[in-house]
Amino acid sequence: MELFSDLNDRLLFAVPKKGRLHEKCLEFLAGADIQFHRKPRHDIALVKNHPMALVFLPAADIAKFVGLGKVDLGITGEDIIAETFLDQAERQSRIRQVMPLNFGRCRLAVQTPVKTGPTNVADLVGKRIVTSFEGLTKQYFKALEANQSNQPAAEITDAAMQTSVEFVGGSVEAACALGLADAIVDLVESGDTMRAAGLQAIGTVLESQAVLIANSRTKFSDLVAMIQARIEGVIASRKYVYVNYNIRRADLEQARDVTPGHRAPTITALLDPDWVAVSAMVLSAEVANVMDRLKTLGATDILVFTISNCRV
Ligand SMILES: Nc1ncnc2c1ncn2[C@@H]1O[C@H](COP(=O)(O)OP(=O)(O)OP(=O)(O)O)[C@@H](O)[C@H]1O
Ligand SMILES: O=P(O)(O)OC[C@H]1O[C@H](OP(=O)(O)OP(=O)(O)O)[C@H](O)[C@@H]1O
């Protein structure tokens, strides 16, 4: 009871309690210096250093809680947001997408058995589809049916659909092998699960990644902006590394082209007047290539540092 009275006047921030998005969310919270202590088996944790509380929920429920204003802020997948609010206008009126988070990337794909299944999604009209994303799958197949019948998709009711779309809560990939379905609609990232089940992807319902979302009418807009800035800092700090090296003054111009930095590189004089030290932020994905080019230019003592946090 004491905990719930403590929730008054705190921003409620929903975080996936398990699954693919959970660990990364905890990393973001740590990077954003959101400090909390979660007692065992408690799904609500008060934040020590901000007027905020974390609510640990199944990822699949977070869009609903944010959209209904039961929590102010949340992290979940775009797939879940689309499935929860199938009507785009309603989705946009209830939920503000604060920022994409660059993880949890996957796609919701139509999959059929490699050996016996069709390779064209249009051939699945009238067949049996099994999925955990019932709403999006019905929308997708209504659009296909509409194409074939010249009837507007909006006029096709669920009952009038030729295609059977059945919900299952998990292990969707087993449905074809078990004789429950001719095709499934499920998430694919590496494709390992799909291939292991003898399936192939023949169409994409949507692409998804994790996003930070806020209720459109939250009264905590200042706190939301602060969390956004901090999470942007965490994302930027992963995108870049800090590179430091020594180079002959005569080669500085060419070296600047290799490491232009975010705004400009920092040049520091060395006791040897023919040499300078250069420091610059470099895209993590390009750092090996940058080091090779610097070495070719004659740079020495090339050091690469990870950035634990930054604001660019
Ligand atoms: N293989 C994947 N790669 C990247 N992101 C994924 C992957 N699978 C799921 N996701 C993302 O994570 C969200 C949660 O999926 P996850 O399978 O972790 O759910 P869960 O909470 O464990 O629920 P369930 O018990 O139904 O599996 C998905 O809606 C999607 O946005
Ligand atoms: O393409 P892949 O990299 O193999 O990922 C796809 C799988 O990941 C998700 O399930 P997850 O492994 O999270 O477990 P779940 O089936 O219990 O949801 C999803 O439901 C797929 O089954």
Give me the CATH number covering residue 246: 3.30.70.120
Residue-level pLDDT at 2:
57
Distances, alpha carbon 174 to alpha carbons 47, 121, 280, in Å: 41, 19, 50
Mean pLDDT of 169-182: 96
Residue 189 beta carbon below 6 angstroms from any ligand 1 atom: yes
Residue 186 beta carbon below 6 angstroms from any ligand 1 atom: no
Q: Are residues 119 and 183 in the same domain?
A: yes
Nearest listed ligand to the Cα of residue 106: 1
Q: Are residues 25 and 118 in the same domain?
A: no
Q: Say how many Å lie between the CA of residue 247 and the centre of ligand 1.
A: 48
Q: Indicate whether 1 pLDDT > 60.
A: no
Question: ipTM value of the model?
Answer: 0.95
Q: Indicate whether 308 pLDDT > 90.
A: no
Per-residue confidence band for 311, with pLDDT thresholds at 50, 70 and 90 = confident
Q: Say how many Å lie between the CA of residue 77 and the centre of ligand 1.
A: 8
Handedness of CA 249, 253, 258, 261 (dihedral sign): positive
Tokens of 98: 């604060």
| Residue 191, domain member (yes or no) | yes
Ligand 2 site-directed mutation target among 107, 137, 188, most atoms within 8 Å of CB: 188
Domain range spanning residue 153? 106-208
Residue with tokens 């500085």: 252
Greater confidence (4 vs 72) lies with 72
pLDDT digits (tens, 9 = 90+) for 79-118: 999 999 999 999 999 999 999 999 999 999 999 999 999 9
Domain count, the chain: 3
Q: Are residues 73 and 215 in the same domain?
A: yes
| Residue 79, domain member (yes or no) | yes
Percent of the chain with pLDDT over 70: 98
15 CB neighbour count, 10 Å cutoff: 26
| Residue 78, domain member (yes or no) | yes
| Residue 201, domain member (yes or no) | yes
